[in-house]
Structure 1
Amino acid sequence: MTRIVFDTATSLNGWIADEQNSLAWLFAVDGGQSPDEGLLPADAGVMVEGSTTYEWVLAESDILAHPQKWQEFHGDRPTFVFTTRDLPVPEGADITFVSGSVADAMPAIRAAAGARDVWIVGGGDLAGQFLDAGLLDEIAVSIAPVLLTGGAPLLPRRLESDRLRLASATAVGPFARLVYEVAATPA
């Protein structure tokens, strides 16, 4: 059964990107550049990301000039990018640009995922839109030993403890890995 998983890294104080929307702080952590397999969702068939995350990934690795770098992180998984703008596509990448609500995009996303999971890569507001629509099944957070002074918050929504069930807490290298199952909104 397809699950919708928000799986990301965060600083110890809850920022997923710094004030410049950069993840350079994460890549500076031992294991941050090439994460341990235990820090990535095992059954992700589709990736979903917002335009800020997408554009940062393209720029950071100069992917438009070196399209083979797309495969290093995304592999051959279809990727849905939520945006209201026209954005470039790396050669050979399976990208679908989506505007509008996550609920409206879900039939196409689920069809692309098949029986595999949907991985919301970032950002936090996009994950919050899935939560608002009642479509978020799991939040997996790899907490890095870094403190930032500001940036993009992990999940800019209020979510009470009655909706979260701790599924696991493990150490993976210098990261603390927390996985929470998200319960449906009470009727």
Structure 2
Amino acid sequence: MATLFYTGCSLDGFIATRDHDLTWLTTRSIESERDMGYGTFVPRIGAAVMGASTWQWMLDAGESAFMGGVPTVVLTHREFEPVEGMRFTAADDDDDALRRIHAGLVVAAGDKDVWVVGGGALAARLAGLGLVDEFWVQFAPVTLGEGQPLCPGHVELRLLDVVRNGDFVCTRYAVEESRP
């Protein structure tokens, strides 16, 4: 079992536009069932955590069933409609609460992995607490010029794997050390 930050990223280091849009990710081809593709990744997942902007994008894009029923925590100060299997909490400002949430997700995931779905700031925060084991980053051949950064924090990584999948360069890194 591991906690994984799996995300797409532009070549200039952004995971979403300034207004949290991800549609640019669909402008290039990637094969879901090939190496490091979404279809090969998701069966590993037993629980997930994400930020409010990621959840809002999923709702707006009609992807609210995207999580496939795995226990999911959305860290938010916004009000959302209840969804079965999802918990909405504002505990993201409290390190001890984040540790408890992560511990609960690890238990819920059983022998599967925990996915940090979205939010570079969330990934950086969890990595800074020593709660993220790996970064899986799919680099799309596009630049955005500005937007939501991949990881707005200092995280030392060690490259574990790199493959080409369609137009994407897919990478997997072990987290070596993190600093807030």
- TM-score w.r.t. the length of structure 1 is 0.83
DSSP 3-state at the match of 2:171 = strand
Tell me which residue corresponds to 1:105.
101
1:171 and 2:164 matched: yes
Q: Check conservation: 1:142, 1:178, Cα contact below 8 A.
A: yes
Task: State the alpha-carbon separation in 1 of the partners of residues 177 and 138 from structure 2.
Answer: 23
Alpha carbons of 1:120 and 1:137: their partners in 2 closer, same or farther (altered >3 Å)?
same
User: Counterpart of 2:172 in structure 1: which amino acid?
Assistant: V
Trace 1:84-163 onto structure 2 (pairs within 5 A).
84-90=77-83, 93-100=84-91, 101=94, 102-160=98-156
Q: Check conservation: 1:53, 1:123, Cα contact below 8 A.
A: yes
Structure 2 regions of 5+ residues with no counterpart?
A: none
Percent identity between matched residues is 34
Q: Check conservation: 1:98, 1:105, Cα contact below 8 A.
A: no
DSSP 3-state at the match of 1:148 = coil
Task: State the alpha-carbon separation in 2 of the partners of residues 105 and 149 from structure 1.
Answer: 34
Q: Check conservation: 1:134, 1:185, Cα contact below 8 A.
A: yes
Task: State the alpha-carbon separation in 1 of the partners of residues 160 and 89 from structure 2.
Answer: 31
Task: State the alpha-carbon separation in 1 of the partners of residues 52 and 73 from structure 2.
Answer: 10
Cα distance, 1:183 vs structure 2: 2.4
Task: State the alpha-carbon separation in 2 of the partners of residues 47 and 107 from structure 1.
Answer: 12
Task: State the alpha-carbon separation in 2 of the partners of residues 185 and 35 from structure 1.
Answer: 30
Structure 1 regions of 5+ residues with no counterpart?
A: 62-68
User: Counterpart of 1:9 in structure 2: which amino acid?
Assistant: G
- TM-score w.r.t. the length of structure 2 is 0.86
